[in-house]
Amino acid sequence: MLYVHKPMHIPDGFLSVIVSIVFWLISVIVIGVALRKTRSELVDREVPLMGVLAAAIFAGQMLNFSVTGGTSGHFLGAALATILLGHWPAVLVMTSVVSVQALLFQDGGILALGANIFNMAIIGVFVAYAVYTLIQRLLKGQAWGIFVAGFVSAWLSILLASMSCALQLAVSGTSPANIAIPAMGAIHALIGIGEGLITASALIFIYNTRKDLLKLGETKLLSNKTILISGSLIALILAVLSPLASSYPDGLERVAEEYGFIKHAQAALFNIFSDYTMPGISNPALATIAAGVLGTIIVFGVTYGVARTEKKNTQELTKR
């Protein structure tokens, strides 16, 4: 089987219904705006361009390179799509990719699709847009600035998308914030390096062959202030919220309570957050260490699992 399941797609059953519905609503609104904007920009070229490029991102996710013993660098594509196409088309392309992955390959749930679209097609794209534009401005159009901006924006878009994923799991009461956020962050800080390297090298290749495409992206990118600001805000909020939530998980519990997430769930279940010393260990320092060890085991478990499937996949590929 060619298709590899990815660690950031949330399956059904892991998010609470309210979280799923809230993120469906947000995603539907953003996709609606994206459809209108690309329609006015591309007129009748929209369907073929978006469709073929979505297929290319989907297939491009098969391109990987070995890092060490079985682990491999991986490509998600949100940042590259944003840099080359502009943010609204990139939202559509990534939404198509994530939707088809859920509908055809059960990678990510159907009820959870709204949240997955939000993480990968909205957070991923907006953050990449904001970071790329800001760095480009700071470096004042230096040629090498494109690659630095490409690397950093790709890395951050992966990292922040995974943070948003961890926060959704934490608010749903599936994963304690103080374990989910560091674990997800650590995995994706590594995955993001592969993404950044691939994105920057793809930009170098395109810079050498079709400079005009990058110029086109530049003017398009530099024009939209609202997206720039909202993208930076998202990045900032996630960057501040994630460590905060992971060190004060009770705060998240309070938020959950206030918004009535608790109503249908058993109240006791949300006590998960209130008592975050490891049960059975009375010394808080020891408990933190134990939580850290548990987090590390999870990190290595997940990465090892991913690596194993990847390795098998590449072996099958080469055998074909």
Partner 1 sequence: MLELYQHHYSILHRLDARVKVIFTLAFILSLSLTPPGAWPAYILFFTVILSAVQLSRLGVGFVLTRALLAVPFMLSALPLIFTGPPPLFSIALFGEIQINLSSIGTIRFASIGLKSWMSVQAAILLAATTRFPDMLVALKQLKIPRIFVAIIGLMWRYLLVIVEEVTRMLRARSSRSAVLPGSRHSGGTLFWRGRVTGGMVGSLFLRSLERSDRVYAAMLSRGYNGEPPVFNSASLSARDRKTLILGIATLIILMLLGLITGG
Give residues 91-130 in contact with partner 1 (rule: CB under 8 A).
Answer: 92, 95-97, 99-100, 102-107, 109-111
Stretch binding partner 1 (CB under 8 A), from 31-39, 119-127, 131-139, 255-263: 31-39
Using the rule CB under 8 A, is 318 a contact of partner 1? yes
Q: Which one, 205 or 259, has the nearer CB to partner 1?
A: 205
Angle at the Cα of 99 from the Cα atoms of 93 and 102, rounded to 5 degrees? 145
Using the rule CB under 8 A, is 25 a contact of partner 1? no
Are the beta carbons of 159 and 188 closer than 8 angstroms? yes
Q: Which one, 163 or 235, has the nearer CB to partner 1?
A: 163
Using the rule CB under 8 A, is 181 a contact of partner 1? no
Stretch binding partner 1 (CB under 8 A), from 120-128, 229-237, 252-260, 297-305: 297-305
Using the rule CB under 8 A, is 197 a contact of partner 1? yes
Stretch binding partner 1 (CB under 8 A), from 172-180, 219-227, 233-241, 255-263: 172-180
Member of 25, 29, 33, 52 binding partner 1 (CB under 8 A): 52
Q: Which one, 6 or 137, has the nearer CB to partner 1?
A: 6
Total of residues contacting partner 1 (CB under 8 A): 106
Using the rule CB under 8 A, is 185 a contact of partner 1? no
Using the rule CB under 8 A, is 305 a contact of partner 1? yes
Member of 11, 135, 234, 250 binding partner 1 (CB under 8 A): 11
Q: Which one, 140 or 267, has the nearer CB to partner 1?
A: 267
Binding mask 207-236 for partner 1 (x = CB under 8 A): --xx--x-----------------------
Q: Which one, 24 or 232, has the nearer CB to partner 1?
A: 24
CA–CA distances in Å: residue 249 to residues 93, 220, 237, 238, 258: 35, 40, 16, 15, 15
- Within residues 62-81, the interface with partner 1 by CB under 8 A covers 62-69, 73, 75, 80
Q: How far apart are CA 10 and CA 113, in angstroms?
A: 8
Q: Which of 92, 88, 94, 85 is nearest to 124 (CA)?
A: 94
Member of 25, 40, 41, 205 binding partner 1 (CB under 8 A): 205
- Within residues 249-278, the interface with partner 1 by CB under 8 A covers 264-266, 268-269, 271-272, 275-276, 278
Q: Which one, 73 or 86, has the nearer CB to partner 1?
A: 73
Q: How far is the CB of 142 from partner 1 (least distance, A)?
A: 19
DSSP string of the chain, one letter each residue:
------TTPPPTTSS-HHHHHHHHHHHHHHHHHHHHHHHHHHGGGHHHHHHHHHHHHHHHTT--EE-STT-EE----HHHHHHHH-HHHHHHHHHHHHHHHHHHH--S-STTHHHHHIIIIIIHHHHHHHHHHHHHHHTTT-HHHHHHHHHHHHHHHHHHHHHHHHHHHHHTTSS-HHHHHHHHHHHHHHHHHHHHHHHHHHHHHHHHH-HHHHHHHHHHHHH-HHHHHHHHHHHHHHHHHHHHHHH-HHHHHHHHHHTTTTTTS-GGGGHHHH--SPTT---HHHHHHHHHHHHHHHHHHHHHHHHHHHHHHHHHHHH-
Q: How far is the CB of 140 from partner 1 (least distance, A)?
A: 24
Q: How far is the CB of 118 from partner 1 (least distance, A)?
A: 16
Are the beta carbons of 39 and 92 closer than 8 angstroms? no
